[in-house]
A and B are shown apart, each in its own frame.
Chain A
Amino acid sequence: MDATSTISMELATPTFSQRLWQLAARREYGIAIVLAIIIAGVTTKNHDFLSGENVRDILIHCTQPLIVSCGVMLVIVTGEIDISVGSALALLTAVLGWLASPTHYHWPAWAAILATLALGAILGLINGLLVTLVRIPSIIVTLGMLTMLRGLTVILMSHPRPDGRAGDITDMPYSVRFFGIGKILGISTSLWITAIVVVFTALLITFTPLGRRIYAVGSNPHAARLSGLSVTRVKIFTFMFTGFLVGVATIVTQLATVTSGLGQGFELLVVTCVVVGGVSISGGVGTMIGVVLGVILIQIQSTVLIFLKLGTNAANWNQAIQGALILIAVLIDQVASRGEKRIGGGH
């Protein structure tokens, strides 16, 4: 009975979602395999690639995009998108610099950090309110914010501070920088923080009612409403969470100098990582492990190219390789899921 009753499903939704499901389960394997091949390949050419030091650095390269990806993943799972994170990162870094720098407001580190996190959450709240209550499509809201926050950052950074100076902030106190470059038990603080965020997000989406509701809202918003879920509240939460995480990403920065040019193109990097990690742009699907692998795959690329020592002109092809990588990932995925569908339907 089962085999035949599956075919009764109406053409569009179930088979499609079924496919997405299987795909989400498979996608992680796919990325893991590609990653393994890349790592094996580059290691045979350059044995230092898998040195402890390099692995640590690669992981540190992943911290900022990974932290923000945790939030953006949830936003995309609910069927929305957030492309304002790059500009938000720049603005929050600028604010943190203003507040914490001894030659400026010189707040204690904890106060400056709390204020930055709070501001991040507020920016997310604004996005969330505009998307849910005013009902502007999220891509428009966050596109507008992307542009606006970038302008605000430049204005803030070129505005004379209390000591009359303007421009870059070069004297961030160590108490703030500790979260980026400090070490706890011999492991970089930024890695600890990233691990906490990732584990927290993983627990959130698997084991809490709120997590289930995020997926429910993305899977079928209409049904979610009929089930008495507040779609509005869930979506606002995901945007606020993302904003908050941008604040966290601000704090784990490795940089010593605050400038207005931070985070250019960061939003596209994050969306790319999340999508390559198997999160469906139409909502409802996505796993933490997939996103982690997606971030590593995208971020490892530039290190790999440097370790291959291809010479002084090679970097001109970096972007083309990145684009091709995404296209190939998407293509393999699509072909695999088609094959799956044919085999899966027939049993």
Chain B
Amino acid sequence: MVRIGHWIGSVALAAVIALSGCSKSESTHESASQPASAIKPTVYLLPKKKGVPYFETCAKGAREAADKLGVDLTYDGPTSGSADEAAKMIEQWTLQGADVIAVSASDPAPLAPVMKSARSKGVHVITWDSDTPADSREFFVCQASAEQIGNALCDTLAKDIGGGNADNADGEVAIVTAQMTAANQNEWIKYIKARLEKYPKLKLVDIQPSNDDQTKAQQVTQDMLKAHANLKGVFAISSQAFPGAAEAIKQAGKVGQVQVTGLSTPNDMKKYVHDGTVKSVVLWNTVDLGYLTTCVADALAKGTLKKGATTFNAGRLGEKKIDGDVILLGDIIVFNKDNIDQFDF
């Protein structure tokens, strides 16, 4: 009985393979040769990690633009945040006949080759939020470079520690990151470290992973607060780490004595900004970032945006400057008690 099943299985498997081979002829000339100026361009928007507020707010802006421009927008990405998973999704979308793929690279190394290969198959590839090597994409929709982000974080924390004057900043600081292996965070850490040289009285004493888990972030922050008596500031540089670290400082009763900053959406941090635990939150307008990215994708698909352009008209955002192949969103925003309520994302 088992043996018969075995043979039937093998035969049927062969049949499936043969069948899929036969269907080859029907579908050879599909995706790549489609004219790019089809009425409804197909745009795929890839976040580093799906399901986190930062990217969900980007998606909000992207959908707004898509509705206005008549773009067939798909927003999807790895819920695990794995770059390898993201690479697989790009490959799949290429096969599905995407017109434009917009990538936010959690790790440029594994993504760049895939993006290049997508481009070679006639897909427009752009990056947004975080870039990959220039030859793997056409444009980069940039809110800020890793260096700018690192600098902004560092300057903000120094200012908060110094009570408004960065030069007064004195004491020890620590970083709570996602995983020790998180490519993005490590990039920022690199620039934070570099920028800290500007503040010789600030000393980086520890970097701890939170395993992208708020509970863990809270625990390590708590421990560092006690272990380093002179700790004055914490960089909490992942979406799970920031609320965790803020909560730890609050519960330890060190509000005002220890400053914490990081990247997060205003809505997530409003509570801590209002109760004084967090003085400043560093970010940019994520809704606008999603909006701008979708506009760029649409223009590329329709052929209205070409290499070498110096400005780009982005709907409600108005004229945006293009610096080479980098389209700039605008400035980093530091949210504080005074301005945070003006934003809802």
Contacts and interface: CB of A to CB of B under 8 A. Distances in A.
Determine direct contact between A and B, CB below 8 Å.
Answer: yes
Interface of A: 46, 48, 51, 53-54, 57, 61, 64, 150-151, 154, 157-158, 166-168, 170-171, 181, 253-257, 259-265, 302-303, 306-307, 309, 311-316, 318
Given A261-B240, A303-B223, A315-B180, A253 B206 contact: no
Contact of A171 (B209, B226, B228, B271): B271
B233 interface: no
Interface string B69-108: 0000000000100000000000000000000000000000
A302 B53 CA distance: 28
A171 B215 CA distance: 17
Given A261-B214, A262-B214, A263-B213, A256 B208 contact: no
B228 A312 contact: no
Nearest to A166: B56
Contacts of A316: 180
B239 interface: yes
B325 interface: no
A318 B214 CA distance: 18
A307 B180 contact: no
Contacts of A313: 207
Nearest to B219: A61
A154 B49 CA distance: 11
A302 B219 contact: yes
Interface stretch (B129-137, B152-160, B243-251, B312-320): B243-251
A5 to B, nearest CB: 46
B268 A168 contact: yes
Contact of B205 (A46, A150, A263, A311): A311
Contacts of B207: 312-313, 315
B268 A170 contact: yes
B48 interface: no
A255 B271 contact: no
A181 B218 CA distance: 13
Contact of A154 (B50, B216, B222, B239): B50
Nearest to A54: B226
Contacts of B214: 255, 257, 259, 261-262
A33 to B, nearest CB: 24
B32 interface: no
Q: How large is the interface on B (under 10, 10 to 19, 20 to 34, 35 or more residues)?
A: 35 or more
Interface string B175-213: 100001000000000000000000000001111110111
B251 A254 contact: yes
Contacts of A51: 226
A254 B215 contact: yes
B58 to A, nearest CB: 12
B52 interface: yes
Interface in B218-270: 218-220, 222-224, 226-229, 239-240, 243-244, 247, 251, 265, 267-268, 270
Contacts of A171: 271
A318 B209 contact: yes
B330 interface: no
Given A254-B218, A263-B213, A302-B220, A312 B51 contact: no
Shortest 10 CB-CB distances between A and B: which pairs?
A257-B243, A167-B53, A306-B223, A312-B207, A307-B227, A154-B51, A303-B223, A306-B227, A154-B79, A256-B247
Contacts of B211: 264-265
A54 B243 CA distance: 21
B213 to A, nearest CB: 6
Could you say which of A158, A166, A261 has the most chain B C-beta atoms within 10 Å of its C-beta?
Answer: A261
Given A48-B226, A64-B215, A259-B239, A315 B244 contact: no
Given A48-B226, A170-B271, A309-B205, A262 B251 contact: no
Contacts of B265: 167
B209 A261 contact: no
